[in-house]
Structure 1
């Protein structure tokens, strides 16, 4: 965290923030807006579509009980995500800061609640998610080598580490390289899903419709809530472009367009992919399969069935890149507000990338790879993720009341945030009631943010020895990474 006597507050040195222009004028070292509308679309689509739709779309079916009801939930989840994304478009164009919901909660509800959101997302949800997706990538890469058994756990973890390290290097080297990786691998996963969907339509034309019924549909409130909970997790990532809005060209125009195009495309693809699966696989086969897309391919593609594991690997590689690209900006945004170590605000001198934030995210993910319970960690704080997104959407009506004069290039009808908030409460509180132990563990993990906040942020008069240690550590990290803080434009 920023401390009195830190580099920014002290004397100038060779690694202090420096102007980039020759005359020391108004240019500043900062993240550059290099991302086009197409890049924005691929970031969102690539972040949403990971391994889930290929590996196990059974979660929704488990709680709905029937194929037709599950398709309705997939469609409604997509529409629900669009409503949330529409509200985020107003927030993103009004508060043009990297960090998305963290920045919105900070401005609306203050630093404590913003830090709670930052702590859970940065320290648990994002690195755990990245570790899980990287493990899925390594599992499918190793599948041809171990066709009849599971790959050794150590080999899978080592390959996952290599995946994260390669993508961390790319993200440290150039934002455009990172967005190109995102573009290429997004196209690959869309191609794979297109092949599955076309095959499904061919099956429909041949009359394969026997599984499309409402038979055995579950009508309990808890089942409905948990089915939406599963479906919405598959759409998780629609807000990721807001995390890097400072690097998007013309965000007022491109942010809402990218969100609208991406959410519509993903909803169509998800629903049609599920239709394709159920033309060939029975509900019991879907529930019993560890990799539905692979089972589907083995049934229909013959000698070309190997292509689907390859596409799943490509899909997950792109998803790891999307998580790293956006999550590092959350670290960066938190550090800019003084709620993360100061070094995370700094930018590499020649590459103009947030190198310390990228490396921090990568290192945390690799630490979690050593744990065998990373899936449990995600489930423990899953409800907190959706509650915080609901809190971000609450910022829309709250800021309309508290700060009505803020410029709003996009102004949504208030019925949208109201509906979203009510639905969010339903899909989070009901599963909490159904699984009280997981909720209790999650609450304990959330409460762990309180002592951290009190010690590192609220307590201002720390011992000089602590302050000196922080300053010297920051200087050392600046030197080895060749990074400087965001410099401020010259005063006129």
Structure 2
């Protein structure tokens, strides 16, 4: 869950709420929503302990067409916008190392060049071998925790020194926004930082004693992350005024420049490591999801193929990476997060609605974890608010385009999946790309020998 959001989303939350106190409330509510969603997913995951996550819940709850819509949106929009957004944070923090003066902010083209460079480098690393990608992930994990612990410790010292002028309850809620629908974007920014609460459902089969450990992970992990996020935001406001935070393009860098002096470089370096690792994780899983969807006939066939020498889904990696790069060019971080959240919460809400539906359509299914139906119902209601609130507050064409993109899945499902329609030129393109990338369907690729780390092929 802890990735790039906590280092940049506080600005977006504060901008929409207009007060320190309400921004902290939004961060706490986001943690509660993530907890409720995780509890609903815990019942779904132990009831259907198979890979696929939302895809499986859509298919069993509402049928194949809606499951195809999820796979279509997840592969082409949700995963790629997430990769673009996290990589954009990397670009912003990397650029701040060269443009540290507030009077000379980094040009947009520099941030985007660094962002694209990071994505290309990650594609190369993941194409070389799955082991190199997972080793990179392990190496980058400690960086984000070190950065957050350092920020929180500085904040605690500042509180004891009496620097509470911005977090005092008597003034922290002054000027809070009264536009209820404007909070939708604030929740988008906050929930972006919590995203990942549903990822254990993709590994239920691999958990030891999942009926006990899955709810334990939810009940311990999410409250812990919520506390860390609240403490980090409080630490920011012991050093930065609301105006300072809103003026910063990289909050943690501004914080470090104020408090760490010559050692300020530690924070942006750790954030760069953290976001680079997070982007690597997104690309790794996005490529595997695209590959699985292609095997199901939901994507072009080349995406399902694996390089015969490297044993990596090279075509899927390039496919997802190129889409992410295209998304970086015209958009900024806030736009990417909004597109991601708008589409993601459609399907998070539908998954919880499927939870309710399956209680009535398949009451005979074994449910090792059984939660009150009011929990998924609350998530469904909140997801409806999240989808509608930004559109009501700021009706604009991007929301319409995002909705049309989701609905386009239905128009593609019936001719290309249900009826099996094929476009002949795509066969020649697939053959060319197969030869270029030296790839073949995974069932024809020899597995790695037992002495090596196995891959999920």
TM-score w.r.t. length of structure 2: 0.84
Query: Where do residues 43-122 of structure 1 align in structure 2 (5 Å cutoff)?
Result: 45=1, 48-50=2-4, 52-122=5-75
Which deviates more from structure 2 when the two are superposed, residues 230-239 or residues 152-161? Answer: 152-161
Choose which of 228, 231, 236 in structure 2 pairs with 1:277: 236
Query: Where do residues 164-175 of structure 1 align in structure 2 (5 Å cutoff)?
Result: 164-175=119-130
Partner of 1:388: 347
Choose which of 402, 405, 409 in structure 2 pairs with 1:445: 405
Between the aligned partners of 1:267 and 1:111, the Cα distance in structure 2 is 36
1:412 paired with 2:371, answer yes
Q: Could you list the runs of 5+ residues in structure 1 that have no partner in the other structure? A: 1-44, 488-492
Choose which of 173, 194, 198 in structure 2 pairs with 1:239: 198
Partner of 2:454: none
Choose which of 301, 322, 334 in structure 2 pairs with 1:363: 322
Between the aligned partners of 2:440 and 2:421, the Cα distance in structure 1 is 30
Partner of 1:17: none
1:460 paired with 2:420, answer yes
1:182 paired with 2:137, answer yes
- By how many angstroms is 1:172 displaced? 4.2
Between the aligned partners of 1:254 and 1:305, the Cα distance in structure 2 is 39
Partner of 1:23: none
Which deviates more from structure 2 when the two are superposed, residues 290-299 or residues 133-142? Answer: 133-142
Query: Where do residues 281-430 of structure 1 align in structure 2 (5 Å cutoff)?
Result: 281-347=240-306, 353-372=312-331, 376=335, 379-380=338-339, 382-430=341-389
1:192 paired with 2:152, answer no
The C-alpha deviation readout for 1:23-80, integer Å capped at 9, x for no partner, is xxxxxxxxxxxxxxxxxxxxxx3xx421x32234122223333222221221121121
1:205 paired with 2:143, answer no
- By how many angstroms is 1:96 displaced? 3.4
- By how many angstroms is 1:350 displaced? 6.7
Between the aligned partners of 1:337 and 1:171, the Cα distance in structure 2 is 23
Between the aligned partners of 2:371 and 2:243, the Cα distance in structure 1 is 43
CA contact (8 A) 2:287 2:320 kept: yes
Size of the aligned set, in residue pairs, is 438
Taking structure 1 as reference, are residues 66 and 161 closer, same or farther at Cα in structure 2, changes over 3 Å only?
Answer: closer
Taking structure 1 as reference, are residues 123 and 183 closer, same or farther at Cα in structure 2, changes over 3 Å only?
Answer: same
Between the aligned partners of 2:305 and 2:25, the Cα distance in structure 1 is 46
- By how many angstroms is 1:253 displaced? 5.7
CA contact (8 A) 2:85 2:336 kept: no
1:485 paired with 2:443, answer yes
CA contact (8 A) 1:199 1:276 kept: yes
Which deviates more from structure 2 when the two are superposed, residues 156-165 or residues 199-208? Answer: 156-165
Which deviates more from structure 2 when the two are superposed, residues 227-236 or residues 191-200? Answer: 227-236
TM-score w.r.t. length of structure 1: 0.79
- By how many angstroms is 1:475 displaced? 5.8
Aligned CA-pair RMSD: 3.1
Taking structure 1 as reference, are residues 245 and 321 closer, same or farther at Cα in structure 2, changes over 3 Å only?
Answer: farther
CA contact (8 A) 1:99 1:329 kept: no
